[in-house]
Amino acid sequence: MHNHKDLATTTRWAESQSAVGSQKTDFELACGRKRKNPTLFNNLLGSMPRAPFALIACIALLCVVTGARAGAARSAWLEQVYFEVAEGFVHYGTLQLEGEEVPNSTGQYLDSSTTQIVAGYRVSPRLALQLNVPLIYRSFERPEGFAIDRGTESGLGDVSLVVDAVVFLREWGGRRTADMSESKGPRLERDESRLALALSLLGGVKFPSGETSRLKEEFIESEIPGAPESGIHGHDLTLGSGSLDGIFGAQVALRYRGFFFEAGTFYRMRSEGAHQYEYADDVTWFGGPGLHFVRNLGTQLSLQFLISAEHKGRDRFRGEAVEDTAITSVLLGPRMLFSLGKWSGEIGVGLPVVLDNSALQVVPDYRLHGALSMHF
C-alpha cells in the first residue's frame, strides 16, 4: 500500500474493514450482514497460544476450575477471533501522459497481485483490532534505454495494525415480543429493525516491513535521447516504503429492510521513508447501494454496486517533487457478498471511468478482488 500501483490493496483494504463472528455485532445487526475483514469495522491477531490462558485461569481460581470450564473459556475467546485471506489483482497496461492515452509502442505493463492475510479480534461488539499482512507479487515489462527490462518482485509488504470502533448505532422499527414456549417463563425477543444507521471510526499504523531496494532506482534514473520512456519506476515496484505512516478512516452504513448503502473514506498520512523517498499523502473512498437477496440465520447473499476512488499528490525524493507520481482514479463495478455458517466472502471487479495522472505513467485497465473469511 504505497502508491497508486497498490490500488488493489488500498481499495480492497478500504472496502473490507469489517469483522466476522459467530455472533453478530451491534453493527452487523443494524446493517443486516456479516462483515468480513476492514473494507470497514476492524479486528487483531488471533494466533496467541491458548495454553497460557488455561494456566492463568487455574492459578486465579486456585486450580478449582475444571478442565471443562477452562475449555469453555478458551472457546469463548476463540469466538471473538476471525481470519481472512483477501486477493486483489490490478493490470496496468495503458500508457498515459498528463491524463491522455499515448501509444504504448514497447508493450510495457505491470501486473500487481496482493494477498492480504488478516487476523482480527473483537474486544467488544463495538470495538475490534485487526492485523493486515500483505504478500505482494508483481511482474512487469518496461523499456530501459533501447532494451526491454522484464522481471518480478515478490515478498512481504508493509504490515498495518488498525483499531475500529462503532461510535454511533441507531435502529428504528424493531418489535419486542414474548416467547412463551419455554417452561421457565416468557423470554423477550426482538424482531429485526426496518431501518438502521451506523457510523464507525478507524485509526492505525502502517509499519516499514516491506523490502525497499527498488527505491534505489531513483538515484540512477536518467533519460537517453531517442530511447522510449518508461512509465514504470522503482517507486511502482517496491514492496515497502520504509516509512511509519498513520491511517485514519470512517464508514457509514444505512439499511432499510433488504436494501443497504455503505460508504467510507480513508486518509494515509505519510512520513519520509527509505532512501530519502517520501510518498505523498493519499485519500481513498468508496461507496454504493446494495440489495440482500437472501438474508437468513447463517446464510446471506447480497449484491452491491460499488464506486471506489483514490487521490494522491506528488511524491518527494530528496525534498524535490517526483513528477510522475500524482493520480486521481475512479473505478466502478459490481461486488457480490455471501456468508454460510462460519464462512463468508466476496468477489468483485472494478473498471476505470476516470484516470487523471501527472507526467507519464501506466494506469490500470481493470481490478479484480475477492476474499474468504472464517470465524470460530
Query: What is the rounded CA–CA span in Å between residue 42 and residue 20?
Result: 9
Task: Supply the CATH number for residue 70's domain.
Answer: 2.40.128.130
**Angstrom distance (rounded) from CA 278 to CA 280:** 6
**pLDDT band, very low/low/confident/very high, at 82 (cuts 50, 70, 90):** confident
Give me the DSSP letters along 82-132.
EEEEEEEEEEEEEEEETTEE---TT--EEEEEEEEEEEEEEEETTEEEEEE
Tell me the mean pLDDT in the region 216-241: 95
Three-state SS at 75: helix
Residues 74 and 361: beta-carbon distance below 8 Å: no
**Nine-digit cell string for 67:** 478442565
Query: Of 80-84, 122-126, 279-283, which has the strongest mean pLDDT?
Result: 279-283
The answer to whether residue 35 scores a pLDDT higher than 80 is no
Q: What percent of the chain has pLDDT over 70?
A: 75
Number of Cβ within 10 Å of residue 234's Cβ equals: 20
Overall pTM surpassing 0.85 (yes/no): no
What stretch of H or E contains 277? strand 277-278
**Helical axes 51-60 vs 67-78, angle rounded to 10°:** 130
User: What total of structural domains would you count in the chain?
Assistant: 1
pLDDT tier, 297 (very low <50, low <70, confident <90, very high otherwise):
confident
Task: Answer whether residue 60 shows pLDDT above 70.
Answer: no
Distance CA 276, CA 209 (A): 17
pLDDT at 346: 96
For residue 40, is pLDDT > 90? no
Run of H or E residues at 315: strand 315-317
Give the model's confidence band at 3: pLDDT under 50 very low, under 70 low, under 90 confident, else very high: low
Domain that holds residue 283: 4-375
- CA 122 to CA 30: how far, in whole Å? 17
- What is the model's pLDDT at position 65? 36
Mean pLDDT for the chain?
A: 82
Residue 175: which pLDDT band, with cuts at 50, 70 and 90?
low
Instruction: State mean pLDDT over 154-170.
Output: 97
pLDDT of residue 295: 85
Strand (E) positions, 99-244? 100-101, 109-124, 127-144, 147-156, 160-172, 176-179, 187-190, 195-206
